[in-house]
Homo-oligomer: A and B are copies of this chain.
Amino acid sequence: MALAIQHADVGRYTAHPNPRVGCVLVQGDQCVGAGGHRAAGEPHAERMALAAAGSQAAGATAYVTLEPCSHFGRTPPCVDGLIEAGVSRVVYACEDPNPRTRGRARGRLEQAGIGVTTGVLAEAARRLNPGFFQRFDAGRPWVRLKLAMSLDGRTAMASGESQWITGEAARLDVHRMRAEASAIATGVETVLADNPRLTARGIDTDRQPTRVVFDSRYRTPADAAVCAGDAPVLLLGAAGAHAAAAYPEHVECLAVPGEGEQVDLGHALQMLAGRDVHELFVECGATLAGALVAANLVDELVIYMAPRLLGNGARGLVELPGLEHLAQTPMLEIVDVRKLGADWRMIARPVMPAQAHPKACSPV
């Protein structure tokens, strides 16, 4: 199963909107076939492994990181493929979270006389697709909030000057994170201030993530860098807002229910999940970052730390208005720390719900 998890990596950047899945076929103590699902429309991991094993698939045990599909999608059901190939046993790490198909593989396989075992390395296999599971479990994407700061928690000088806070290795890591995501999101203030492209660059991938702007009043200029290129763009505006700009065809204005001129962030994430955004990588300013954190909508903070001190006059990392006592402040667990050139990256996850923010809305 550990090997199957490794094979899932072939779809790291490209499997979206499908889950990353790996499969290994074993006869005795020998691997007779292995494969991973690279991209939607291409064969699933099981089909890749069966093709690699050929006639050696008969009687083999199949290890799959996710419950094999039992429905017709863009490709025929993998359960049928496994049955036809004559495997003797199927071990899968975890059930498909999609309620339409969840748990259906077991019955089909057992009916065909194939032994089924589940739950092997389930947690590690789930981590291949945190957003795919969360989308079905909680109705919203897995949200990674990227923050880049100095050692003293500052993002930019008071003037806004922030170029080159982190180095080359950290920037490449950000592009890797972008490339993994279903979509990359930011706030309109960042679009107006920094004009980011929100594309994954320097990464070997043929898929560009969807770009999302929290933009209550559709202030994103039609010629903003975020609107360039082919990858879809979603501008999340307030229900009553109207776009003045004439956007290119791949830019869609999406009305999100909210309060007044603001966009309800939870609602926005639900809508993104409904559009197959499983993993959302957010790169934004302190206001939107704080609003997401305060609303408990962040699953992982990805913090790039440059070994500099900018001082208290510089701009801070997250706006968390209304917090007066330590007990109210969001508590995290640092789950990963690593060196990237001269910089360090920390990944932190919430461990206790922060006090709910009165208004979980985007900045106007």
Which residues does A use to contact B, with CB under 8 Å?
A: 149-154, 157-159, 161-165, 286, 290, 293, 301, 303, 307-314, 316-321, 323-326, 329-334, 337, 339, 342, 344, 346, 348, 351
Which B residues are CB-close (under 8 A) to A151?
A: 153, 301, 303, 332, 334, 346, 348
Let me know if A311 and B337 touch, CB within 8 A: no
Most B-side CB within 10 Å, residue of A286, A301, A308, A339:
A308
Q: Are B348 and A344 in contact (CB under 8 A)?
A: no
Nearest-Cβ distance from residue A148 to partner chain B, whole angstroms: 12
In the bound complex, how far is the Cα of B158 from the Cα of A324, in angstroms? 7
A149 touches which of B153, B332, B339 (Cβ 8 Å) = B153
What is the CB-to-nearest-CB distance from A120 to chain B, in angstroms, rounded to a whole number? Answer: 29
Find the B residue at minimum CB distance from A307. Answer: B332
Asked whether B308 lies within 8 Å of A331 as measured between CB atoms, the reply is yes
CA distance A5 to B308 in the complex (A): 32
Chain B residues, Cβ within 8 Å of A337: 337, 339, 344
How many copies make up the complex? 2
**A-B CB proximity, top 4 nearest:** A153-B153, A311-B320, A312-B316, A152-B317
Q: Can you list 27 A-B pairs, Cβ within 8 angstroms, ordered by A?
A: A151-B303, A151-B334, A151-B346, A152-B153, A152-B316, A152-B317, A152-B318, A153-B317, A157-B323, A157-B324, A159-B324, A163-B326, A164-B326, A307-B333, A307-B348, A308-B329, A309-B318, A309-B329, A309-B330, A309-B332, A311-B319, A311-B321, A312-B316, A312-B320, A313-B323, A334-B342, A344-B346
**Is B346 touching A342 in the complex (CB atoms < 8 A)?**
no
Q: B157 contacts A154, CB within 8 Å?
A: no
Q: Which B-chain residue is minimally distant from A351 (CB atoms)?
A: B307
User: In angstroms, how far is the closest chain B Cβ from the Cβ of A117?
Assistant: 36
From A159, A163, A318, residue with most partner B Cβ within 10 Å: A318
Q: How far is B334's CA from A41's CA once the two chains are assembled, in angstroms?
A: 46
> Does the CB pair A152–B149 fall under 8 Å?
yes
Given contacts A163-B326, A337-B337, 19 further A-B contacts (CB under 8 A): A149-B152, A149-B153, A151-B301, A151-B332, A151-B348, A152-B318, A157-B323, A161-B326, A290-B312, A307-B331, A308-B326, A308-B332, A311-B319, A313-B323, A314-B323, A316-B316, A334-B342, A334-B344, A337-B339
- Cα A308 to Cα B153 in complex, Å, equals 12
Q: How far is the CA of A189 from the CA of B208 in the complex (A)?
A: 53
For the complex formed, measure the closest distance between the CB of A166 and the CB atoms of chain B, giving whole angstroms.
12
- How far is A339 from B324 in the complex, measured between Cα atoms in Å? 28
**Which residues from B are CB-within-8-Å of A159?**
324-325
Instruction: State A151–B143 Cα separation when bound (angstroms).
Output: 18
- The CA of A292 and the CA of B268, in the complex, are separated in Å by 47
By the criterion CB–CB under 8 Å, are B312 and A319 in contact? Answer: yes
Given A153-B152, A153-B153, A316-B152, residue A311 in contact with residue B323 (CB < 8 A): yes
